[in-house]
């Protein structure tokens, strides 16, 4: 019997994943990752909820204390990027370093053949190419492939996504049918370590760096006023600027060097190209990519894929040229590449 280590958050998705893996004949071992110490009455029930599910399904349950690693690898990067004027996506880093990094190490330690998670995604082996492919989930509205572009062939050969072919309603119905108390547990929202969504307060509380005020400027460099610190703003922001011009005005650029924020019109937010670093392709190494690649690219999690060409311009760096201009391309976010329902890869927008 093949043994699989399942990352369990205590939510309905990973709980039903455990049940489905058992149905498929796997020996399931549950693992809940302790990632952050919550304050101000924000209670994390994930460990206890997962333990209850494991008891119900009669599977072993491990609690993995990754708090120090999570802070070093995910949270500190999140803070550093914000103070540099960027808007990072910590879920991308967590999946790369924790869920498909440290969790894989633990799987080896526990003698598990596979690692599984409750992501809405699909893994398929292409007999013709001899490569593992990541495909979008059957439910487009729940698809989570955007955060999985850092996976490689070695990891995919040992990765299972049991719920990728189901929609959320079906998953909840299944959980209710088998008597799991988490069947109506709300979905997790946004960034797990900032449950109150107050990014500004979190950054000030958890960084030794001082927030520096700076200038609002127009595109020519003319000073328009003062802002309270670049950590409080993101590209495309219109509300909460604390300055009015009698017309809609947006953040169109953030300069981490001199701490200035460029304001402009909505039209100023549209760009036809970007560069990205730390690029990974799921099925190929950089040496295997010859010439520009035609893709559909997403510049943020909820963005609609847009037609583009991807060209390598250096080691793990690419230029992405769009057929149609894209709004509010944001440094620190990920640009992710697709071919129809197949995830090709991605990188961090510079």
Name residues whose C-beta falls within 8 Å of residue 160's C-beta, 6 or more positions apart in sequence: 4, 21, 114, 115, 116, 123
Name residues whose C-beta falls within 8 Å of residue 167's C-beta, 6 or more positions apart in sequence: 138, 139, 141, 142
Left (φ > 0), alpha (ψ -120 to 50) or beta: where does 168 sit? Answer: alpha
Query: What element of type H or E holds 155?
Result: helix 153-156
Q: Per the annotation, does 8 bind a ligand? A: yes
Q: Per the annotation, does 174 bind a ligand? A: no
Name residues whose C-beta falls within 8 Å of residue 260's C-beta, 6 or more positions apart in sequence: 214, 215, 216, 217, 254
Q: Per the annotation, does 33 bind a ligand? A: yes
Q: Per the annotation, does 229 bind a ligand? A: no
C-alpha torsion sign, points 167, 153, 21, 48: negative
Q: Per the annotation, does 111 bind a ligand? A: no
Q: Per the annotation, does 1 bind a ligand? A: no
Length, in residues, of the chain: 350
Name residues whose C-beta falls within 8 Å of residue 64's C-beta, 6 or more positions apart in sequence: 31, 32, 33, 34, 102, 103, 106
Left (φ > 0), alpha (ψ -120 to 50) or beta: where does 179 sit? Answer: left
Q: Per the annotation, does 12 bind a ligand? A: yes
Q: Per the annotation, does 80 bind a ligand? A: no
- Known catalytic residues are 94, 192
Q: Per the annotation, does 10 bind a ligand? A: yes
Instruction: Give the residue numbers of the binding site for ATP.
Output: 7-14, 33, 118
Instruction: Give the residue numbers of the binding site.
Output: 7-14, 33, 118
């Amino acid at each position: 019997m093949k043994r699989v280590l399942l990352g369990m958050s205590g939510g309905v998705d990973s709980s039903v994943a455990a049940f489905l893996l058992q149905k498929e004949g796997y020996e399931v071992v549950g693992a809940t990752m302790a990632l952050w110490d919550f304050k101000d009455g924000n209670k994390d029930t994930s460990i206890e909820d997962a333990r209850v599910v494991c008891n119900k399904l009669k599977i072993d349950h491990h609690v993995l204390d990754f708090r120090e690693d999570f802070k070093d690898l995910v949270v500190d990067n999140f803070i550093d990027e914000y103070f540099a004027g960027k808007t990072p996506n910590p879920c991308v880093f967590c999946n790369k370093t924790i869920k498909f990094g440290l969790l894989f190490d633990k799987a080896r330690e526990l003698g598990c053949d596979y690692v599984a998670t409750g992501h809405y995604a699909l893994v398929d082996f292409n007999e013709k190419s001899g490569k593992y492919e990541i495909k979008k989930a059957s439910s487009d509205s729940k698809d989570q492939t955007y955060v999985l572009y850092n996976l490689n062939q070695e990891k995919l050969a040992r990765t299972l996504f049991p719920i990728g072919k189901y929609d959320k309603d079906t998953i909840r119905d299944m959980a209710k049918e088998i008597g799991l108390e988490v069947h109506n547990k709300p979905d997790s929202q946004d960034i797990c370590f900032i449950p109150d969504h107050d990014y500004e307060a979190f950054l000030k509380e958890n960084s030794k760096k001082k927030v520096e005020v700076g200038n609002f400027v127009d595109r020519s460099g003319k000073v328009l006023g003062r802002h309270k610190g670049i950590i409080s703003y993101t590209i495309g922001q219109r509300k909460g600027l604390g300055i009015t011009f009698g017309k809609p005005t947006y953040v169109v650029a953030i300069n981490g060097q001199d701490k200035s924020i460029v304001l402009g019109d909505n039209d100023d937010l549209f760009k036809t190209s970007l560069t990205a670093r730390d690029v990974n392709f799921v099925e190929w190494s950089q040496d295997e990519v010859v010439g520009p690649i035609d893709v559909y690219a997403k510049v943020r999690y909820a963005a609609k894929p847009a037609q583009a060409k991807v060209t390598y311009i250096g080691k793990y760096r690419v230029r992405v040229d769009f057929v149609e201009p894209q709004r509010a391309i944001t440094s620190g976010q990920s640009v992710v590449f697709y071919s129809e329902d197949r995830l090709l890869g991605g990188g961090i927008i510079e």
